[in-house]
Amino acid sequence: MATAAIIGTAGYVGQETLDRVLAHPELELVALGSDTFAGQPAARLDPRLDASIPPFVTNADAAASGSDAIFLCLAHGEAAAFEPPAGAVVVDLSGAHRLTDPALAQAWYDAVPGAWSYGLPELYPPQGRLIANPGCYATAALLALGPLAGVTDGAVIDAKSGVSGAGKSLTASSHAGFVLENLSPYAVGTHRHAPEIAQQLGFAVCFVPHLLPVRRGLLATCYVQTDADVRELLDAAYDDCTAVRVLAEGVAPELSRVQGTDTAELGVFTDGATGTAIVICALDNLGKGAAGQAVQNANLALGLEPTAGLRLSGVLV
């Protein structure tokens, strides 16, 4: 049994990480960190958390808990300033340590790359004990395009995400009066996940995200010019992956089948008029796009069962 601490549990990503850690057969939660809730019982966050869960401590106390694994669920700036305790596996769910180019890391996150390794288990398994967990959009785009990196040199990525992707902070664009019965493109051509995707693929991409009127779930529709057999490459890449499912010919991914799970779905199509390859990825921005992948990365670094604690099964309507 390894021990785990969560730092910054009050947000969406922290809560979802807590969900997986509580379900994990090989992780014991020893410190629940939140500067907002320190000193209060876990149920203060959510009435489903009972007295068996440790009460909140400060983030500093959680960091000093001597845990084998630390899940860092802080804002980018706070994560950039975090000092990893010696010996612990640390998974940073923020963007602070994703970009390896110092100029880009500086420009997008005001951060310094340091000794962190990018960890997307199916494609880029984490190296070492400091792991940068990928962005939600980047995870979807990379699952769709990573296996094609050698056979194309450009892509259009049109992505759509539910509102939990932007976190719990109160902004005009997360107000329900703005989101409901709406669809809103944002950060058009200027989103920070674009350089992250490009870094892993090795070529620049055109990336446009849209805010969907759904609570959770993300879908990326990727357009690629290539002569390669795209389905074959994707099938080969994910053949023995339990968390990534390549759908049969003609079947398109949907949010509803991945919401509340740590899985991703991929659909592969060819445009009838132009021959463009179309790869569509659906995942839950809080699951495979955040907390689920973080636990998956920690499992690998700790030498545990790779998908322990994940939400992989079930066929909810």
Active site residues per annotation: 136
Helix (H) or strand (E) holding 299: helix 292-302
Assigned token pair, 70: 């630390």
Decide: is 124 part of the binding site for a second copy (CB under 8 A): no
Min dist. Cβ of residue 218 to a second copy (A) = 9
Pairing of strands 206-211, 264-270: unpaired
Single out the segment in contact with a second copy by CB under 8 A; choices: 62-70, 98-106, 130-138, 178-186: 178-186
Nearer to a second copy, 66 or 167 (CB): 167
Assigned token pair, 46: 């959510």
User: Among 1, 256, 303, 305, which residue interacts with a second copy (rule: CB under 8 A)?
Assistant: 256
Rounded CA-CA distance 160/153 in Å is: 23
Residues in the chain: 317
Decide: is 286 part of the binding site for a second copy (CB under 8 A): yes
239 DSSP assignment: T
Nearer to a second copy, 86 or 315 (CB): 315
Identify the residue whose tokens are 């785009």. 141
Decide: is 212 part of the binding site for a second copy (CB under 8 A): yes
Single out the segment in contact with a second copy by CB under 8 A; choices: 98-106, 125-133, 173-181, 299-307: 173-181
Identify the residue whose tokens are 């807590």. 18
Decide: is 278 part of the binding site for a second copy (CB under 8 A): yes
Residue among 160, 196, 169, 162 nearest 74 (CA): 169
- Do 282 and 217 touch, CB atoms closer than 8 A? yes
Nearer to a second copy, 64 or 156 (CB): 156
Nearer to a second copy, 103 or 313 (CB): 313
Min dist. Cβ of residue 115 to a second copy (A) = 27
Residue among 232, 242, 241 nearest 270 (CA): 232
Binding to a second copy by CB under 8 A, coded x per residue (else -) over 59-88, reads ------------------------------
What are the start-end ranges of the E strands in 53-133? Answer: 56-57, 69-72, 89-92, 117-118, 130-132
Min dist. Cβ of residue 156 to a second copy (A) = 5
Assigned token pair, 72: 């860092």
Rounded CA-CA distance 59/186 in Å is: 32
Assigned token pair, 45: 């966050």
User: Among 174, 228, 302, 308, which residue interacts with a second copy (rule: CB under 8 A)?
Assistant: 174
Min dist. Cβ of residue 245 to a second copy (A) = 7
Nearer to a second copy, 88 or 219 (CB): 219
User: Among 7, 12, 59, 289, which residue interacts with a second copy (rule: CB under 8 A)?
Assistant: 12
Burial of 64 (0-12, 13-18, 19+ CB in 10 A): middle
Min dist. Cβ of residue 29 to a second copy (A) = 12
Decide: is 40 part of the binding site for a second copy (CB under 8 A): no
Nearer to a second copy, 85 or 213 (CB): 213
Task: Give the SS3 label for residue 6.
Answer: strand
Min dist. Cβ of residue 100 to a second copy (A) = 17
Decide: is 47 part of the binding site for a second copy (CB under 8 A): yes
Exposed e or buried b for every residue in 93-126, given b needs 16+ CB within 10 A? bbbbbbbbeeebbeebbebebeebbbbbbbbebb
Q: Which of residues 179-208 bind a second copy (CB under 8 A)?
A: 179-186, 188-190, 194-195, 198, 204-208
